[in-house]
Every structure is written in structure tokens, then in C-alpha cells.
């Protein structure tokens, strides 16, 4: 047992972060207080945290993306690349081979697990950024997307009929 120097509560050693500089191999604060201190420092000086994050990303590009994919998307980068290969290395909606400026997006069903995006059952496919944004902005609402399709079809029909009227006008002046 060990007492936290922040909250003065007694905890098991496993409730303290590892610190090889100390004789017992554990830090002086419990994990809960340690996380609270980290969160407070991030809130007070967010620019310091962002600069540290950017530096880490530059020094460890592969490590950051693997960690990001696993934590945020629930699958590793390798699993995502396997899914992309299985769908022909193209966006599952538009068929483009260009992913966009932030790379390929792992599309998932927001209604499956809510805000937690770690369930593999939620994953629908790999999309380019444009298609993923389209689904996100429409809030995955099928009716909204169908209305958008009707809107575009209506515009295209009016464009074609306007072109026919203009060509008739040109013939009449000759």
C-alpha cells in the first residue's frame, strides 16, 4: 500500500504510475490524480500540448498513426489497409483512388456505439475524405441524401431543357 501525495488516499502500488527513478518503482501520485494534473495542464496551456504533439508526430510518424487508428477507429492501420485492399483500393462510394488530404477514412455507424468508436461491428467501409464528409454532414440520414439526389436531378433536367431552348433560339436567328 502507498499514500498518494495529492489526495492523501491509500492505494495499491498498481494504482500508481511506473517511475523507475523511485525506490519502489512507482510515482508519488495515484493514476487518477496524475491524469487530473495532465488534463489541467492541457487546459491551462493548450499550445504547449499541441506543440509537443506535433513534435512527437514528426519524430514518430508511423507510431502516431498506428496509435491513432487503434484508439479512435478501433482497428489498426494494417487492418484498415486490408479492408481497403478487399474493396479494390478505392473509395467504397465514389470509387476514387485518391483518399484526400488526410488519407483514407474509416467509416462507421454512429448509432451503433454512440460516441465510442471502438466497436468493429460499427465499421462500414473505407472512404475518401469527401464521401466520409458527405455522410457526416448528412448525419447518415438516407432521406436527406435522397432529397439531395432529387435536387441534383432536377437541376440537371432544367440545365438540359435550358440548353435545348438556347439551341432553338440560335436556329431561329439564322
Q: pTM above the 0.75 mark?
A: no
Burial call 93-103: b when 16+ CB within 10 Å, e when fewer? eeeeeebbeee
* CATH fold of 51-165: 3.40.1800
Sorted by where each begins, the domain ranges of the chain are 1-44, 51-165
pLDDT by residue for the chain (174 residues), tens only, comes to 899 999 999 999 889 988 888 888 899 999 999 989 888 888 888 888 888 888 888 888 767 667 776 777 778 888 889 999 999 999 999 999 998 888 888 888 877 776 555 667 788 899 999 999 999 899 889 999 999 999 999 998 888 776 666 665 555 555
Angle between helices 61-68 and 46-59 (to 10 degrees): 110
> Per-residue pLDDT tens for 27-68?
999 999 998 988 888 888 888 888 888 888 888 876 766 777
Amino acid at each position: 500500500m502507498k499514500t498518494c501525495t495529492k489526495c492523501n488516499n491509500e492505494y495499491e502500488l498498481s494504482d500508481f504510475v511506473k517511475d523507475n527513478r523511485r525506490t519502489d518503482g512507482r510515482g508519488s501520485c495515484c493514476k487518477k490524480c496524475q491524469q487530473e494534473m495532465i488534463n489541467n495542464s492541457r487546459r491551462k496551456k493548450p499550445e504547449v500540448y499541441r506543440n509537443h504533439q506535433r513534435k512527437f508526430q514528426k519524430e514518430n510518424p508511423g507510431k502516431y498513426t498506428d496509435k491513432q487508428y487503434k484508439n479512435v477507429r478501433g482497428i489498426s492501420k494494417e487492418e484498415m489497409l486490408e479492408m481497403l485492399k478487399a474493396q479494390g483500393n478505392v473509395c467504397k462510394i465514389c470509387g476514387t483512388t485518391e483518399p484526400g488530404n488526410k488519407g483514407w477514412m474509416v467509416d462507421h455507424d454512429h448509432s451503433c456505439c454512440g460516441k465510442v468508436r471502438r466497436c468493429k461491428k460499427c465499421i462500414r467501409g473505407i472512404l475518401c475524405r469527401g464521401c466520409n464528409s458527405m455522410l457526416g454532414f448528412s448525419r447518415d440520414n438516407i432521406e436527406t441524401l435522397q432529397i439531395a439526389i432529387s435536387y441534383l436531378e432536377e437541376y440537371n433536367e432544367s440545365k438540359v431543357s435550358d440548353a435545348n431552348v438556347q439551341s432553338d433560339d440560335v436556329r431561329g436567328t439564322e
